[in-house]
Structure formats: structure tokens, C-alpha cells
């Protein structure tokens, strides 16, 4: 029987028989991720308005060097070159940024939205050549596991920030007193969402049990694998919610610090 | 009610094109019913592969309104019948006639994957012991009906024609079923990296979206295999740990 090679009638970029709005999801991802990158870059270079009372913006946590009381090692190092812009966030943001950049969910999303590889499922691509993650530079995505370990440590720092956000300075006495403000709740929700995202990471799932063929032989691994798998099933949801929450947390602290918003004390 | 089906008809000389077939449809019909009706009433020479009509044989794979689906599992009430419904063959495989494609490439790929190699029996009577939970993990992959819709939608095969370097999501699922099997002792990681092209997958999850058996191909098969490959070949820390523990370095 004669075989007609269908591949010769492949269509060009964006052509498809699909009737649905296949472009809507990649467009939403493009807009959402672009907005985050633009805001995060802008916020990182501000170098001010990142604390308010006991609150510290997650973009600047942990604050290694800086002028706020949250700084671990005091103000900007004297040896810092004058021509290099300084902001405490520049020490921090590359790590969670690279964790997200190399995340399996985000990879699939931005390959479609930013590189049209493919634009959407069963939709024609703009290029014929393709190397995937087989060779440089995308083979470097395999470094995701190292950023995952850093991200796990950052969850501890951010949780500690929530603890600190429970202790307000009494302006009359100067003493620390327990309290809960709207900012405390925002930072608490943020760390929960970030933990949901980080603890559902595919690499963590592999490390705690996925690498074993008989994970049931190790009860601790077995339980951890089940927990991480549960979160992993909602990885996309946590990826977006935590992205939104971390941006909202920074914005809230920033607006309070600038005097545009008033932080309500609930307790 | 009448609906129009725009069906791909092949013509050996010119390649092929769409032909419109208006036909009567009724409640409960699926696309395969309509195709059969068109075969019976209007186009007896229309070629269409089918078998069980129950979503279990994986024969009637096609692209309906541009989306890879089983014809027998696509109910007409899920489609907009005010416009012609397009029915095309799978685009990743060579066309034989009308809606029938030559999927034999898949059957040539399968033998390149190392077979199930059980470890030594656990008991003196030659039997093995394994926990149900460990068996459950690979059981998901055994739901595959080999409809090859995942292969059809995968852009590495569909748009980039990497059939010689990439085995596709169906066979990563098959590899995962063997590689993660609690009794299996064969090592397929170098093959996955070097000859089966797992690095080509860029995790777009299109395979997962079209799977009629709802297998989590990307999350449960491909990414775990990718991570095992990273462990073995790309992670200097685990490589070093293996050297110290006397394991395989590469």
C-alpha cells in the first residue's frame, strides 16, 4: 500500500485545526510572568521601602547587608564598588529566581509562552531546528535540584520573618509586644504558599522517595513521598499562587512604608 | 439534527484534502458513530481503523477539530455542531489512507527498550515479595492502551521529526513502568539519555493532556526518569557519593 508522508503537509507557525482559544493560556502565562519579572526587577533595584515595622519584604529576606534593623551583617560593605548599584535584594533574588526559572512546571509554561516551542499543543511551530534540553544551554536546567535546596532553606528564613512580624515595638515604651497586623497575615499566607510550592517540587519528590523502586521499605521516605506527591499534584496552582503572593507581600510592605497604606492591627 | 463532518480523504497522487459530509446525528452519538454512518451512506471507501468502540483498544485515534482524540470517546454533544467537525488522521505518522496511519514505527521502537529483568527470587520457592504501594506506582503506566495520541501530539515528533533520536512519551511511560518496577534489575538510564533522547522532552505536558487513560505521563513517568538521568550523569554530588559508596560512577 502506498504511504503518503503526512509530515510533508505540516503547517506553519500558529496554524492548527483547533477551534478553541489555544492562544489564551500561553498569552496569560506571557503576561503573568512578564509582569512578575518587571515588578520584581524594579522592586529589587529600589533598595528602600522594603521594611515596615516588624515586616520585611520577602524579596529582601534574608537581608544580609542593609540599613534596616533586619540586616544580619550591618550596612552595605565598605568595599562595595561605587559604580555597582546596591540593593539587599540583589544578594537574595537570584536564588528563588533560578529555582523558579528551572522549575519543571515553569519550563513547560515559558517554553510555550515565550519561545513558542510549541505555542500550544498541536499548533505549528516557528522553527524547524530543535535541540531541547539535550545540549547547552538548556541542559543547565538540570541544576534545578541545587536551587531547590536553597529554596528549602529560604522557607525557614521566611517563616522566621513571620515570627518576627508578630512582635511590634510599642512607641511609648519601646518594648516589643505581641500583635497581629494585616501584614503579619499577608506574610504568613505567603510563606504557606511558598512552602506548598517548594515542598511539591518534582526534584524533592525524587529525592525523598521517587529515586527508590521500593520506597515502602523505608517508612519515613514512604510518608514523605506521599506528602510531596500530594503537593506535587497541585504544583501549577501553588506556582502561580505563590508568585502572586510574594509580589503582593512586597507591594504591601512597600505601600505601608511609603505611607500610602495604613497597616491595621488586628490584635 | 444534521451536522457536517469535514473528513480528510487521501488521494495518492495529490496527497489529500478535506471533504464535507453532512449527516444526521442524534443524542448519544460519538464521532466514530458518525464516521460509520458516513461510510454506510455516502463513502463506502472511507478508510478508518477501529475495533472496540469502548476506548480500550486505542485503534480509532484521530484529530478532531485539531485535537488528538479517540473517535469512539468523543461525544458529539461536546462539539460545536453548528460548524463542520474536522476529522483528520494523526499528523505524526505516515498516512496510509484517509484516517488510517502507519504506526509501525512504534512497534520498531519498543524492542529497543531493555526487557523486564527480575532480580533473583526472594524466597526459596522461586517467588518474589513486593509491597502493593510499590506495585501501584507502576500500575498506572500499565493502563496505556497504545493509542499513540501522546506520540501524535508530542512536538518533538510532530514538528521536529526526531523519530530516529527520540522514543516519545508512550515509550518513556513504558520505560518508567520497567525502570521503577520493584522487581526489575535492568539499567536503562544510559539508553534513555543517549539513544532514547529523554533530554529532548521540554515538559509541555501535551502528552498528559491527550491521554484517554489519564496517565500522568509527564509528572509520574518522564520527570522521574529525567531526575534519575540527572542523578546518574549530570549531578556531580551524587556521582561523588556513588564513588565513595562503591556504586557506579557513570
Pull the grid cell for residue B66.
Answer: 485539531
Residue A1 has pLDDT above 50, yes or no: no
How many whole angstroms separate alpha carbon B91 and alpha carbon A187?
49
Say how many C-beta atoms besides its own lie within 10 A of residue A220's C-beta.
9
Q: Report, as an integer, the average pLDDT of A24-31.
A: 98
Residue A222 has pLDDT above 60, yes or no: yes
Q: Report, as an integer, the average pLDDT of B169-183.
A: 98
Residue B12: per-residue pLDDT: 57
Pull the grid cell for residue B221.
Answer: 513517568
> Hey, are the CB atoms on A214 and B130 less than 8 Å from each other?
yes
> Hey, are the CB atoms on B204 and A108 less than 8 Å from each other?
yes
Residue B97: per-residue pLDDT: 93
Residue A235 has pLDDT above 80, yes or no: yes
Q: A218 to chain B nearest CA, in Å?
A: 11
How many whole angstroms separate alpha carbon A103 and alpha carbon A84?
30
Kindly list the residues from chain A whose CB atom is less than 8 angstroms away from the CB atom of residue B91: 6-7, 10, 122
Q: B136 to chain A nearest CA, in Å?
A: 11
Secondary structure element (H or E) that encloses residue B190, with its range:
helix B189-194
Secondary structure element (H or E) that encloses residue A31, with its range:
helix A24-46
> Hey, are the CB atoms on B96 and A8 less than 8 Å from each other?
no
Q: What single-letter DSSP state applies at residue B84?
A: P
Q: What is the tens place of the pLDDT at every residue in B42-51?
A: 999 999 999 9
Say how many C-beta atoms besides its own lie within 10 A of residue A233's C-beta.
13
Place B242 in a pLDDT band, splitting at 50, 70 and 90. Answer: confident
Q: A119 to chain B nearest CA, in Å?
A: 10
> Hey, are the CB atoms on A122 and B199 less than 8 Å from each other?
no
Q: What is the tens place of the pLDDT at every residue in B108-144?
A: 999 999 999 999 999 999 999 999 999 999 999 999 9
A156 touches chain B (CB under 8 A): no
Rounded to two decimals, the pTM is: 0.94
A130 touches chain B (CB under 8 A): yes
Nearest-10 crossing angle of helices A24-46, A104-113: 110
How many whole angstroms separate alpha carbon B212 and alpha carbon A178?
55
Give the angle A90-A96-A101 at the CA atoms, nearest 5°. Answer: 110
Kindly list the residues from chain A whose CB atom is less than 8 angstroms away from the CB atom of residue B63: 17, 122
Task: Say which residue the cell 548599584 belongs to.
Answer: A85
Strand pairing partners for B75? Answer: B30
Q: How much of chain B, in percent, has pLDDT values that exceed 70?
A: 97
Kindly list the residues from chain B whose CB atom is less than 8 angstroms away from the CB atom of residue A124: 159
In 3D space, the residue among A160, A183, A221 whose CA is nearest the CA of residue A51 turns out to be A183
The phi-psi region of residue B16 (left if phi > 0; otherwise alpha if psi is between -120 and 50; otherwise beta) is left
> Hey, are the CB atoms on B68 and A233 less than 8 Å from each other?
no
Domains located in chain B, CATH noted: 2-94 (3.10.20.30), 104-244 (1.10.1060.10)
**Strand-pair category, B17-24 with B2-9:** antiparallel
Residue B15 has pLDDT above 90, yes or no: no
- In this prediction, the answer to ipTM > 0.90 reads yes
Residue A11 has pLDDT above 60, yes or no: yes
Amino acid at each position: 500500500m502506498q504511504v503518503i508522508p503526512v509530515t510533508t503537509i505540516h503547517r506553519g507557525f500558529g496554524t492548527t485545526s483547533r477551534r478553541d482559544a489555544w492562544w489564551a493560556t500561553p498569552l496569560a502565562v506571557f503576561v503573568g510572568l512578564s509582569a512578575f519579572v518587571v515588578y520584581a526587577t524594579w522592586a529589587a533595584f529600589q533598595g528602600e521601602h522594603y521594611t515596615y515595622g516588624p515586616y520585611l519584604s520577602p524579596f529582601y529576606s534574608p537581608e544580609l547587608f542593609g540599613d534596616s534593623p533586619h540586616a544580619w551583617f550591618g550596612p552595605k560593605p565598605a568595599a562595595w564598588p561605587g559604580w555597582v548599584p546596591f540593593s539587599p535584594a540583589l544578594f537574595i533574588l537570584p536564588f528563588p529566581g533560578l529555582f523558579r526559572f528551572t522549575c519543571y512546571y515553569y519550563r513547560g509554561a515559558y517554553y510555550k509562552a515565550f519561545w513558542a516551542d510549541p505555542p500550544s499543543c498541536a499548533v505549528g511551530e516557528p522553527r524547524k531546528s530543535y535541540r531541547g534540553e539535550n545540549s547547552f544551554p538548556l541542559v543547565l536546567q538540570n541544576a534545578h535540584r541545587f536551587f531547590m535546596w536553597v529554596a528549602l532553606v529560604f522557607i525557614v528564613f521566611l517563616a522566621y520573618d513571620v515570627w518576627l512580624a508578630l512582635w511590634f515595638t510599642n512607641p511609648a515604651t519601646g518594648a516589643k509586644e505581641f500583635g497581629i497586623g494585616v501584614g503579619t497575615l499577608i506574610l504568613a499566607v505567603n510563606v504557606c504558599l511558598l512552602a506548598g510550592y517548594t515542598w511539591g517540587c518534582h526534584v524533592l519528590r525524587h529525592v525523598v522517595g521517587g529515586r527508590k523502586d521500593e520506597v515502602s521499605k523505608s517508612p519515613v521516605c514512604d510518608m514523605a513521598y506521599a506528602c510531596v506527591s500530594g503537593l506535587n499534584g497541585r504544583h501549577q496552582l501553588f506556582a502561580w499562587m505563590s508568585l502572586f503572593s510574594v509580589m503582593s507581600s512586597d507591594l504591601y510592605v512597600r505601600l505601608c512604608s511609603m505611607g500610602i497604606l495604613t497597616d491595621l492591627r488586628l490584635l | 439534527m444534521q451536522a457536517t463532518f469535514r473528513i480528510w480523504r487521501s488521494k495518492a497522487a495529490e496527497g489529500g484534502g478535506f471533504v464535507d459530509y453532512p449527516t444526521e446525528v442524534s443524542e448519544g452519538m460519538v464521532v466514530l458513530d458518525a464516521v460509520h454512518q458516513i461510510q454506510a451512506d455516502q463513502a463506502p471507501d472511507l478508510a478508518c481503523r477501529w475495533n472496540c468502540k469502548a476506548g480500550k483498544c486505542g485503534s480509532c485515534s484521530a484529530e478532531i477539530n485539531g485535537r488528538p482524540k479517540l473517535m469512539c470517546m468523543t461525544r458529539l454533544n461536546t462539539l460545536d455542531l453548528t460548524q463542520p467537525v474536522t476529522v483528520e488522521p494523526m499528523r505524526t505518522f505516515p498516512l496510509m489512507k484517509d484516517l488510517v496511519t502507519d504506526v509501525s514505527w512504534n512497534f520498531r521502537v519498543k524492542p529497543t527498550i531493555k526487557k523486564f529483568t527480575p532480580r533473583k527470587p526472594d524466597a526459596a520457592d522461586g517467588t518474589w515479595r513486593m509491597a502493593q504501594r510499590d506495585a501501584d506506582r507502576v500500575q498506572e503506566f500499565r493502563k496505556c492502551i497504545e493509542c499513540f495520541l501522546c506520540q501524535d501530539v508530542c512536538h518533538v515528533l510532530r514538528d521536529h521529526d526526531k523519530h530516529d533520536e527520540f522514543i516519545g512519551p508512550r515509550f518513556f511511560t513504558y520505560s518508567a513502568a520497567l525502570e521503577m518496577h520493584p522487581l526489575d534489575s535492568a539499567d536503562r538510564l544510559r539508553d534513555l539519555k543517549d539513544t532514547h533522547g529523554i533530554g529532548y522532552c521540554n515538559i509541555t505536558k501535551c502528552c498528559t493532556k491527550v491521554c484517554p487513560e489519564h496517565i500522568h505521563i509527564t509528572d509520574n513517568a518522564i520527570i522521574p526518569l529525567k531526575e534519575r538521568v540527572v542523578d546518574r550523569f549530570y549531578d556531580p554530588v551524587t556521582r561523588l557519593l556513588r564513588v565513595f559508596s562503591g556504586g557506579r560512577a557513570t
